[in-house]
Structure 1
């Protein structure tokens, strides 16, 4: 009989909690809830009730469960959860998920594109972010629920993803419900930590009270109150200890044995006397097995030996039943309520409760358990030509149950190495740790070496170091020493990427000591590449190792680290470049393609001091090696760097867009975010405001969640630069504040912050003195931290301003910039061409000056905003020296900036035109830009220009300079504004202006270089 309750009893508080969070999720406020309790306490019933209530709200529900077989299967609950939703419906087609499909395909292989590049291991954070985005899309209308059960049995990768989800669902319409036992381990640590951080609710389920047990028994039997004898209730409450699962098992035993039976309209409990009564689940299940047919009994014992979840194929191999008999017995066991088909896989079954499998195994004597495990292991081994990873884990578990530790260790170690090669380093570490504990003395050290690599790649460098340091000595140059040296080298690479310089150096020294001398060329190459990258890391004081420069992402998204201070530092870099070139060629020749790609990437960085042609040649070689050896990650990285260089040379984004497509196909979210930052910056420089804004909004928060700090900072800087180039000072400052909070001013982005952002912002406010100071600060920073920030103003804008100011050092700065690699970039050629024109015009070479302007215009084709700003500056010098067409240039610039809503520059152009004696029509239009309430009280366009400037509380002299009017006129407009707005003083009027600026900041989403509807020139 199946004595199962049709209702949940004794869990009103928990159901109330779930109802409340479901309501909140439906309104867009996500939450994570963890239900903790011992086996059988009712966690799954509550999860099921949550699913039913979500269905009633028309919410999508995804449900998965971790395996209880002891097998380490990366992401199994997540795979099952996605399958539960999309097996029939297929892949979601929302375009918002396009960047995340490759990562999601790691969980659902059917979603993988046929053209997808193989060989890329999606990082845990990338996968977690992809899953988070999928859930947010599913819950967009009504919210969605993901239920993950038995997290205590989950692999480490799943735990990491669940932690990420719990920490990031608060602002999304997503409810995460996880169930787990209160056993010490990663799952419980996660739940407790999330509760402490207030990112999750944790509810521990206690035993049912006697009245709840009574209600449950009545529900199981379909009895009305009073029909079941109180003695039966007391018996079950005492024996089950308030555990709902045991209540059901023991109740079924009472009914099956006839001790509890129907009597008329009620139930009767037979006298117990001294009869042998089961006192727990084990004896209860033993009694139930005795009443089953022998083949069904055998099948269930074998199934329990295989674990809480088992495959039909494995069961057939062990039992020897043919298909007809096998499925007949499976059907009998299912009808008895003991097992059920597994919803995640059509060829698997699962016990209805993990305690059932435990109880069945425990019903056998130890010797019989061992014999059955041995028989099962042999059958599984003989059932396939090549065992899968899951089958090998099953064999290892069975061999261990049979007492064969050595064979179990070897199988665990083999699967662990396979998982390590596949990128599942967390699961690999679990299996290799298990193998190490079982390995005999002669094999333990070899397992330890692989375990150290797995721990390092999982982010546990301290554990990896301790494992390697505890290994016994090995003779230098021996095969054992060489294997250990490779492990030290790999751990050194991981430490270098994590910027843990000292640990990386220790590992390199250890590797060299183990390899002895002389090293084989491929061994030297692997170490040299790590040492070369290590040379460029910043020390804790912000300086580069060995007198080098600071680290970070440059305008090209790469680590823009260049020559070092002093002749000693530069010589070290030159030697590093020579060594890297030898390493690249050696690695190619000796069949070490990953080392070769890393070497060519390093060379591309080091050779940029001599120009982009040589850097591109290194990247093309890297791309060729990656293509030849099907290294998807290296290929995408090479394409992104080549696309970046092309963007910097020409200002165009076509090649960078192609590189983004490659990164998208690969599925690397980190690389996608880096590329998005570059494309957003290209959009800013090209005047594609909407596209740049959309790209930043798409990636900036995701990059923070991903921990992609380099891309996150760069995107924040792009946001500030976008505001600066549009002349929106308040937006610029808000964005820069976020940039600073993210550590931007301690990164290598400072030259771009000061030069490309703040200096241009100052010019848009017609504050040339401040712009010059910002550019000088950027140059001073670069002198202290040498780098290749070619868009920081040092190689274009600053020489132009110095020449315009008739600075004696201007011509020399121009010549130095022109001779540098940075001077060949389109953005800088535009400014340098106009600087050349100013010098020629000043020297009386008008034809040469005009020719230089035309050349600059060809370089400026991709940069409309910067070109018009440069024309405004150049026209001023041309007026002073009487050459060129300054009036035409000023008219063009004035029209552009008036339409863009940048009144300070437009006003300066009008003032220069008047100074040139040209009639300038008054622009009294623009009333449409004045807010309705201000138009209603009669505020004029000129008064509104004064009003919007008051948000920054400037003085009358500053307003006069910006609008090119007299201070007296400013006073007149101020008096009129106070009268019309009813302000009692200047402070109140300034506060009103600031409020209006904040209210209108989100408006005015212009396209491609125009801002005609901008509410404020700032």
Structure 2
């Protein structure tokens, strides 16, 4: 007889914690809780109570349990949790989930499409997709019920690496989200325990260990289970439970059930419980005895079925059990019903073919009844049955058979099946599970006599470790492979393995490790026909030469280009489409030096190969490159928009964020600041959560450029500080940092500082071969040097001859520089034609075009050519409206110097925010207020607004009086706060990358 308590006893503190977490989730403050405890201590009961309370309060509840059949399928408990919720209503159809449907297709069959997908979603992409899905669930509920959801994952100690990685990701990113995560696990859990402890140390989760019940709590629980008051529990029963159960709730219930089943405890006529016999039940075999008694009441076939099910694990599927027992459907269901009636097993979920033992101890108790030889024989028979029924062992069958072979004692067969399962897991994108499976196989083949089997497993493990980013472990394992004798790889496989290690080292910027691998490989290439291996080596070496690691005495860019070209030709001849795409992609960067037509030709060739061979990721990547080049050549983003849609369609999240960040920097250059802000806001947190440093660097750099192009220095420096924190100093985009600072300095009317920044960019590029061309070298710097008189026409001609000078962004400034030289020489017609050419090139770039006219107008006034007054009027209007007072003021001063009428801006108040207008601020005071944001002194403000320091002092005094601030520092803080409210300024802790646009 099964006796259970209808109430949770002794868990007041834990329930208070869980209630607080649920309440926080309802308020949008997500939390994670790990419930740690031994088997039977009440973790599942507590999780069930939490789920009930969450559902009762209107939250969505998703529940899943890790499997216990040995090697498990990736993400199983998470998929089970999602399916448990979507089984009736289906998944949410929110448009914001469209980019994540591909990644979620591994978890939700309804979202799998027939369209060929690209590479499997990365682990972080899948984790981000799960997070977005949980958010969508919470928001959908919010329309009708309390927003938010609870995700419960039980038996985390049995979870595979992918599930643990997703849960770690959720723990790190639940804050400020309406999601509560509750997971249960045992104290002896290795990886799961490390996850829980680490999350608790980082304070991204709460770890609470369930203690045994006290003596009073055991009595209370027993009384509740027997439906009597505390004082009505027979003292001898209570003493026996306190002594033998050791505070374990499951054992308390089993002891009570055993006492009642054995007749030692029974209900009297008055409804009370009376002792009628011996209460003694063997301990610690209590549970075994109780389970054995219930199993003994079943038929022999029913007991046999349960024993075989226990060998399969706590959770088992009917198809497997049917194969193992040989029972037909009718008999199998009859025995299942008997097991359910005996309260030994129960369905796992509302529908489906999965069942589970009521408790892990139940399965263990049944196994304890079997001799080791019996368990091995059952496992062997089960493995044979599954292999016969499912040739090739697709899906979950392979890891299940591996676990059964291991139980049967056949370590070699188990190892080979684990390796086979690892190949399938890796092909499906579950590389962490593949690593775990291969490590198990590798360990099982430790006997020197198994070297012939062990080496291929080790080889496969090296490749898989590379994919998970564990380069050090991969290198160590590769070095340990035998070079001769049994198990040694042939030369071709050795070269392929070390070339792959070299490529991984290059992509991780570990150039010396890559160079060591390449040197080793070059020594092997002459010993066999290496036409199929050489191209991949050439691609790696091209990167090493360009980075200055190899052949430093040569023209690095030219030598790298030669190697890339040879790699492309060799890869195509050998039919290595992916290597050819790598080579053409790299070659396109080098070809930029000779013109963007040639660069595009390389990209088009790579795109054709990627399309022909179905390399989806490379298709999107090369489309991105072509879109970036199109913008550089014409200022249009049409092709990049197409690439963005392709990334969206294929669920390529990293490439999608790359496209969004690139579109954002293009929007900055066009002066479309709201669009740029929206794009970077959309992906800044996601790129940080995905830990994609390249993309995150690009987003941060874009946000810095956005601030710079609006003259907001403090905001720019805040984003650049975050850029440096993400290792931005090693980025190939570093010259664009100097370029952004130069633009910001120009908007502050500090031309000397701007030129200094551009000189620093030039110095960096002289030391580091660069193939990115928007740093100012071929446009803005020649203009500033022409204006300052530091450059002569010959220097300008040399810069203008470079293909990058023809790019519209650069050409607008280069043509203005040419106009300065021509105007200074008295060739007015040529100067005016150059200004007209600059206007045509700069048409897409709203701010830059007007900044260029402001700069050239000064030279035109001095040298007496052109129409500087008209240029200044247009620039003054633009910068006044854009709230860039320094440039607007400079334009007005130059207009006065030219004897032209100056716009009287003081009477217009449209640009002054409503709140400040209510406080009585004038337009001029607002201009001063804007500059206080940068904490400038009176002299600096006076220079930028072309007024006297005494006038600035009067305006500051008036601002203090009107805003009620006690001193100047408080007024500066107020200026920053007002502007932050007008347009939210990003904080310093935003996690973005390497641009394809510059």
Same fold (TM over 0.5): yes
- With over 3 angstroms needed to count, the CA separation of the structure-2 counterparts of 1:683 and 1:18, relative to structure 1, is same
Q: In the alignment, does 2:569 pair up with 1:569?
A: no
Q: 1:791 aligns with which of 770, 774, 778?
A: 774
Distance 1:292 1:766 in 2: 91
Aligned residue number for residue 250 of structure 1 = 255
613-622 or 503-512, which deviates more: 503-512
> Contact 1:597/1:634 (CA < 8 Å) preserved in 2?
yes
In structure 2, the residue corresponding to 1:71 is in which secondary structure?
coil
In structure 2, how many angstroms separate the alpha carbons of the residues matched to 1:250 and 1:979? 80
1:995 is displaced (CA, Å) by 1.4
Alignment-derived partner of residue 315 in structure 1: 321
Deviation of 1:693 after TM superposition, in Å, equals 0.5
Equivalent pairs counted in the alignment come to: 974
User: 8-17 or 657-666, which moves further after superposition?
Assistant: 657-666
Is the alpha carbon distance of 1:508 and 1:33 closer, same or farther for their aligned partners in structure 2, counting shifts above 3 Å? same
Q: 1:835 aligns with which of 803, 806, 817?
A: 817
Residue in 1 aligned with 2:898?
916
Question: How do residues 697-736 of structure 1 correspond to structure 2 at under 5 angstroms?
Answer: 697-736=681-720
Change (3 A) 1:29 1:982: closer
- String of CA shifts for 1:574-608, please: whole Å, max 9, x gaps: 33332332322222232322222222222222322
Whether 1:529 aligns to 2:514 is no
Equivalent residue number for residue 80 of structure 2: 80
Match of residue 849 from structure 2: 867
User: Partner of 2:177 in structure 1?
Assistant: 172
Decide which of 954, 971, 983 is 2:936's aligned counterpart.
Answer: 954
- Provide the rounded CA distance (Å) in 2 between the counterparts of 1:981 and 1:364: 84
Alignment of 1:801-820 (within 5 A): 801-807=784-790, 809-820=791-802
State the partner residue of 1:493: 503
Conserved? CA contact 2:538–2:566, under 8 Å:
no
- Does the 8 A contact of 1:948 with 1:993 survive in 2? no
What's the counterpart of residue 560 of structure 1?
none
Distance apart, 1:180 and its partner CA: 0.9
Residue 563 of structure 1: aligned partner: none
Report the 3-state secondary structure (helix = DSSP H, G, I; strand = E; otherwise coil) of the residue aligned with 2:80: helix
Question: In 1, distance between residues paired with 2:964 and 2:494?
Answer: 80
Change (3 A) 1:419 1:948: closer
The separation in 1 between residues aligned to 2:293 and 2:491, in whole angstroms, is 58
Say whether residues 1:282 and 2:288 are aligned partners: yes
The answer as to 2:681 corresponding to 1:688 is no
Q: Does 1:483 align with 2:493?
A: yes
Once the two structures are overlaid, the 10-residue window that deviates more, 364-373 or 480-489, is 480-489
TM-score by length of 1: 0.91
Alignment check: 8 A CA contact 1:68 1:308 kept: yes
Question: Are residue 127 (structure 1) and residue 126 (structure 2) matched?
Answer: yes
CA contact (8 A) 2:33 2:183 kept: yes
CA distance in 1, matches of 2:434, 2:160: 10
Q: Secondary structure at the match of 1:862?
A: coil
Deviations 1:510-534 (A, max 9, x none): 4445555244211112222222233
Quote the residue 1:346 is aligned against: 352
C-alpha spacing 1:310/1:951, structure 2 compared with 1 (3 Å): closer
Summarize the Cα distance change of 1:19–1:971 in structure 2 as closer, same or farther, 3 Å threshold: closer
Map of 2:160 onto structure 1: 155
Relative distance call for 1:370 and 1:750 in structure 2 (3 A) is closer
1:262 paired with 2:259, answer no
Report the Cα distance in structure 2 between the residues aligned to 1:691 and 1:162, rounded to whole angstroms: 34
Per the alignment, do residues 344 and 915 of structure 1 end up closer, same or farther by CA in structure 2, a change over 3 Å counting? farther
Q: Deviations over 1:840-875 (max 9, x none)?
A: 333333333333222222222211111111111222
Q: Within 1, Cα distance between the matches of 2:609 and 2:102? A: 23
Structure 1 unaligned regions, length at least 5: 538-543, 549-567, 1007-1018
1:845, 1:951 → 2: CA distance? 43
Which stretch shows the higher mean deviation, 269-278 or 479-488? Answer: 269-278
Matches within 5 A, 1:230-629: 230-264=235-269, 265-272=271-278, 279-343=285-349, 346-439=352-445, 440-474=450-484, 480-513=490-523, 517-537=527-547, 544-546=548-550, 568-570=553-555, 572-629=556-613
Q: 8 Å contact 1:450–1:487 — kept in the other structure?
A: no
Number of the residue aligned with 2:735: 751
For residues 479 and 847 of structure 1, what CA distance do their matches in structure 2 show? 74
Secondary structure (helix, strand or coil) at the match of 1:505 reads helix
The one of 870, 876, 882 equivalent to 1:900 is 882
Q: CA deviation at 1:966?
A: 4.0
- With over 3 angstroms needed to count, the CA separation of the structure-2 counterparts of 1:545 and 1:932, relative to structure 1, is same
- The whole-number CA distance in structure 2 between the counterparts of 1:294 and 1:74 is 36
2:225 paired with 1:225: no
Relative to structure 1, the CA distance from residue 805 to residue 503 in structure 2 (aligned partners, 3 Å threshold; closer, same or farther) is closer
Q: Which SS does the other structure have where 2:181 is aligned?
A: strand
Deviation at 1:796, TM superposition (A): 0.5
Structure 2: runs of 5+ lacking an equivalent: 986-998
Offset, 1:459? 2.4
The superposition leaves residues 199-254 of structure 1 with CA deviations (integer Å, 9 ceiling, x where unpaired) of: 22111112222222222222333233344422223333333332222222333233
Deviation at 1:66, TM superposition (A): 0.9
> Matches of 1:63 and 1:514 in 2, distance apart?
54
**Cα-to-partner distance string for 1:79-131 (whole Å, 9 max, x where unaligned):** 1122122232223233333333322223223223444x424121112222222
Cα 1:441–1:679 change in 2 (3 A) is same
Cross-structure match for 1:552: none
Please list the CA deviations of residues 443-479 of structure 1 after superposition, one character each: whole Å capped at 9, or x if unmatched: 1222121122222322222222222222222279986
Distance 1:412 1:275 in 2: 42
Q: Deviations over 1:904-941 (max 9, x none)?
A: 22222222222222222312233354466765665432
Q: Is the 8 A contact 1:696 1:719 kept in 2?
A: yes
The offset of 1:793, in angstroms, is: 0.8
Offset of residue 944 of structure 1: 3.2
- What SS is found at the alignment partner of 2:982? coil
Distance 1:693 1:314 in 2: 55
Relative to 1, partners in 2 of residues 1:803 and 1:547: Cα closer, same or farther, differing over 3 Å?
A: farther
Q: 1:839 to 1:151 in 2, by over 3 A?
A: same
1:927-938 equivalences under 5 Å are: 927-930=909-912, 935=917, 938=920
How far has the Cα of 1:391 moved from its partner? 0.7
Instruction: Check if 1:89 corresponds to 2:59.
Output: no
Question: Residue 268 of structure 1 aligns to a residue in which SS?
Answer: strand
1:743 deviates by: 3.6
Contact 2:491 2:527 (8 Å CA) reproduced:
no
C-alpha contact 2:118 2:615 (8 A) present in aligned 1 = yes
Deviations 1:378-399 (A, max 9, x none): 2111112332141112112222
Residues 184-203 of structure 1 aligned to structure 2 (within 5 Å): 184-203=189-208
Tell me what 1:1002 maps to.
981
Between the aligned partners of 1:15 and 1:30, the Cα distance in structure 2 is: 17
Contact between 2:162 and 2:433, CA under 8 Å: does it hold in 1?
yes
Q: Residues 908, 282 of structure 1: CA spacing in aligned structure 2 closer, same or farther, 3 A cutoff?
A: same
Distance, in Å, in 1 between the alignment partners of 2:441 and 2:957 is 84
2:43 pairs with 1:43: yes
Q: Which moved more, 1:297-306 or 1:498-507?
A: 498-507
SS of aligned partner of 1:1001: helix
- Cα deviation for residue 648 of structure 1 reads 1.4
The residue matched to 1:147 in structure 2 has which SS?
strand
TM-score, normalised with respect to structure 2: 0.92
1:773 aligns with 2:752: no
Match of 2:992 in 1: none
Distance apart, 1:799 and its partner CA: 0.9
CA contact (8 A) 2:634 2:807 kept: yes
Tell me by how many angstroms 1:806 deviates: 2.8
Distance 1:321 1:477 in 2: 44
Equivalent position to 2:945, from 945, 963, 977: 963
